Amino acid sequence: MAYRAVLYSMSSLMGESFEDEEILDNTLVLEKKDLKDLRTLLGPRKWRSRILGLIRKRISDEIAASKADQSYPDLWKITRRVLAEQVSQDPSDDLVEEIVTIFNRLTDFKLSDENIGVIRSVYDRNYVQAIISNSIIPSRVYGQKLRDLGVGQYFDTVLCSSDFGVAKPNPEFFFMAQDAMGLTLHDILFVADNLETDVIGAVKAGIPTVLVNRYTRIPELPPNVPLVHKLSDILHYLPSN
């Protein structure tokens, strides 16, 4: 099958599980410069760690609640709601943005040299590239991270579930990605690394899919979903256009 575009799950590029559980489990180390304006709004008994703890708890609760209907919470909106419950005045957008940035430190966003090479090779072969992710972090944040890594120019769009209110495996999220890319479903090769959220959702949506399986256990896959063991193996399905 001839493709025109590649749609990656975020974790297929990261090389490991890349989920919001990192935000829930990792230790948050605050710097002295963080959230200086928050003390004025909260007072000393409701200081930074308490507010961030409340936000983290709300994230956990809303992620758990959203899985049943394949929706996904938005870190920006959660932060604003928690602040509004705790302070006597409307929190500024700058304060909300600063808190989102602090939580974003907990995500282990990185790309191996090998995977950067794959991204460049796919670009050189004239394929459109995009990313789809179940994440409470806004898409614009990941766009900036990709630019910081020197690969932002290779991607047409990044779609995070928090911006759209739906999440994988909901087929509707894949249709949104298709619309953003301006292509038909069969023009796109979806690169997955999770059977439950990625493969099942993409197959229901009708998007051709390949699973990057980095583990020893071989999952039982739907028909016509090939399995590879590293990201560079997808190049076998992507001749130069």
Say if residue 46's pLDDT is above 70: no
Q: How high is the mean pLDDT of the chain?
A: 86
> What CATH number did the domain enclosing 139 receive?
3.40.50.1000
Residues 146 and 187 in one domain: yes
Residues 207 and 116 in one domain: yes
Identify the sign of the CA torsion 34, 39, 44, 47.
negative
Please state the domain count of the chain: 2
Residues 81 and 121 in one domain: no
Which of 83, 104, 125 marks a domain boundary? 104
Distance CA 91, CA 97 (A): 10
Model confidence pLDDT, tens digit, residues 138-170 = 888 888 889 999 999 999 999 998 888 888 999
Total-model pTM: 0.84
Of 160, 224, 156, 229, residue with least CA distance to 193: 229
Distance CA 126, CA 58 (A): 43
Structural domain boundaries, residue 91: 21-104
Residues 63 and 165 in one domain: no
Q: By the 8 A CB rule, do 234 and 210 touch? A: yes
**Reduced to 3 states, what is the DSSP secondary structure of residue 8?**
strand
Q: By the 8 A CB rule, do 167 and 173 touch? A: yes
Sequence-separated (6 or more) residues with CB below 8 Å from residue 14: 108, 109, 110, 111
Residues 85 and 122 in one domain: no
Exposed, middle or buried, 79 (CB in 10 Å: 0-12/13-18/19+)? buried
Which of 69, 104, 139 marks a domain boundary? 104
